[in-house]
Amino acid sequence: MSAFVWLLFALTVVLDVFGQTAFKLGLGRLGDDLSGLAFWRAVATSPWVLAGFAGYCVEAVSWMYVVGHAPLSVVGPMAAMSYVGAVLAGRLFLGETAGRRRWIGAGLVTIGAGLVGASLG
Amino acid sequence: MADPAPVALPATRPKALQAAIWGWILFVAVETATQVVFKLAGATLDDSAGPAALVRHALSTPIVFLGFGLYFLGFLIWITILKDVDLGRAFPMTATIYLATLAAAVFLFHEHLNPTRIAGVLVIIAGVVTLASDEDTHRPETGAPEKAVIEG
C-alpha cells in the first residue's frame, strides 16, 4: 500500500466520524416539535447535516479509490477504526459518556487494526 | 461477555423470525457485494490524471454507479432492520460483515491471509461485538463500516 492510499484511508475514517458527529449535532438542534415535511425540510437545511453529507460524498469516492488500490482483506476490517473514532468524538464533542465495555471494545478494535496493518509486512 | 445472545427475535412468531433471518442474510450479502463492486470500480480510478479527470471518469463509469446504488440499498435495508430490532442488538451483528468481506477477498480476489491478518480480524470482530454490546450504545450507523466494511 502506498503512502497516498494510507493517507486516503485515514481521510475516510476521519470523514466518517465527522459525518456521524455532524448528523448527531445537526439533528440535536432541530427541536422535537417538527414532523413530516417540516422535519425533512429542517434536516435538508441544517448546516451540520449538509456538512456531514458533503463529507460522506468525499468519503465514498475516497473509499472507492482506497479499496481499489489496497487488499480488501486489509482495509475492509481496518475500516472498523471509525467505531473507535465515534467513541472518541462522542466523548470529546457530544458530551457522551462511554461505559467500560465500549472503551475495551475500542481498544480491541485498535489492536486488531494494528495487527491487520502489520500483516502487510 | 455476559450476553452473547445474537438478536432479540420474536421467537414465538415463526414468520417474523424467518423474515428477520432473511433480512440479515440480504443485508450481509448487499454489504459484501458493495465492497466487491467498490473494489472493482475503484481499481479503474487513476489519480495520475488529476482530480478533475478522476471525477469525470467516476461520473461516466457504470460500475461506479452500481457501487453507490448498492451502498444506498444497504442503507435502506439497515434502516428496515433497525425498525424492528434495537440498535444494541443489531449493531454487534454487523461484525458478520467482516467475515463475509474476508471470504470475498480470499475467494474473489485471491488475497492471501497470513496468521497475523487472521488474528487481527478476529480481534477487530471481538472489539466490535464488545463495543456494540455496551448497555446504551447509540450510533446512527448507516451501513458499512463501511465500508467494511465496511463501509464505509
Q: Quick one: pLDDT at residue B146?
A: 40
Cross-chain Cβ contact A105/B129 below 8 Å = yes
- Provide the chain B residues 43-82 that lie in CB contact (below 8 A) with chain A: 43-45, 47, 55, 58, 64, 67-68, 71
Flag whether residue A30 sits within 8 Å of chain B, measured between CB atoms. Answer: no
Cross-chain Cβ contact A108/B130 below 8 Å = yes
Question: Which pLDDT band, with edges at 50, 70 and 90, does B6 fall under?
Answer: low
Q: Quick one: pLDDT at residue A104?
A: 95
Q: Quick one: pLDDT at residue A119?
A: 95
Q: Which region among A24-28, A91-95, B132-136 has the lowest average model confidence (pLDDT)?
A: B132-136
Per DSSP, the three-state class of B133 is coil
Find the CB nearest A101 among B64, B102, B133: B133
Q: Quick one: pLDDT at residue B115?
A: 96
Q: Quick one: pLDDT at residue A14?
A: 96
- Contact list in B for residue A65 (CB cut-off 8 A) is 42, 45, 47
Q: Is the pLDDT of residue A5 over 90?
A: yes
Helix (H) or strand (E) segment spanning residue B117: helix B115-132
- Contact list in A for residue B117 (CB cut-off 8 A) is 73-74, 115-116, 119
Model confidence over A17-65: pLDDT tens digits? 999 899 888 888 887 777 788 888 888 889 999 999 899 889 988 999 9
Which of B147, B149, B151 to mutate to probe the A interface, most A CBs <10 Å? B147
Which residues neighbour A33 within 8 Å (Cβ) at sequence distance 6 or greater?
none
Q: Is the pLDDT of residue B82 over 70?
A: yes
The minimum CA-CA distance between A79 and chain B, rounded to whole Å, is: 6
Which of B28, B39, B131, B142 to mutate to probe the A interface, most A CBs <10 Å? B131
Across all residues in chain A, what is the average pLDDT? Answer: 90
Q: Quick one: pLDDT at residue B152?
A: 35
pTM summary value: 0.81
Q: Quick one: pLDDT at residue B144?
A: 38
- Contact list in A for residue B116 (CB cut-off 8 A) is 115-116, 118-119
CA distances, B17 to each of A29, A105, B77, B101 (Å): 37, 29, 16, 25
ipTM rounded to 2 decimals: 0.90
Across all residues in chain B, what is the average pLDDT? Answer: 80
Proportion of chain A in helix, strand, coil states, percent, rounded to 5: 80, 0, 20
Q: Is the pLDDT of residue B137 over 70?
A: no
Q: Is the pLDDT of residue B136 over 90?
A: no
Classify the C-alpha dihedral A55-A120-B141-A107 as positive or negative. Answer: negative
CA dist A63 and A61 (Å) reads: 5
Flag whether residue A66 sits within 8 Å of chain B, measured between CB atoms. Answer: yes
Average pLDDT over residues B62-87: 87
% of residues, chain B, pLDDT over 70: 80
Cross-chain Cβ contact B149/A76 below 8 Å = yes
Cross-chain Cβ contact A68/B114 below 8 Å = no
Q: Taking every pair of C-alpha atoms in chain B, what is the biggest distance, in angstroms?
A: 59
Residue B11 backbone phi and psi in degrees, to 5: -65, -20
Q: Quick one: pLDDT at residue A41?
A: 85
Amino acid occupying residue B145: P
**C-alpha cell of A84?**
473507535
Flag whether residue A22 sits within 8 Å of chain B, measured between CB atoms. Answer: no
CA dist A97 and A109 (Å) reads: 19
Which of A25, A30, A63 to mutate to probe the B interface, most B CBs <10 Å? A63
CA dist B103 and B97 (Å) reads: 10
Other C-beta atoms within 10 Å of A51: how many? 17
How distant is the alpha carbon of residue B85 from its chain centre?
17
CA dist B73 and A40 (Å) reads: 20
How many Cα neighbours within 13 Å face the side chain of B139?
Answer: 35
DSSP letter, residue B150: E
Q: Are B144 and B150 in contact (CB under 8 A)?
A: yes
Q: Is the pLDDT of residue A115 over 70?
A: yes
Q: Which residue's C-alpha cell is 457522551?
A: A96
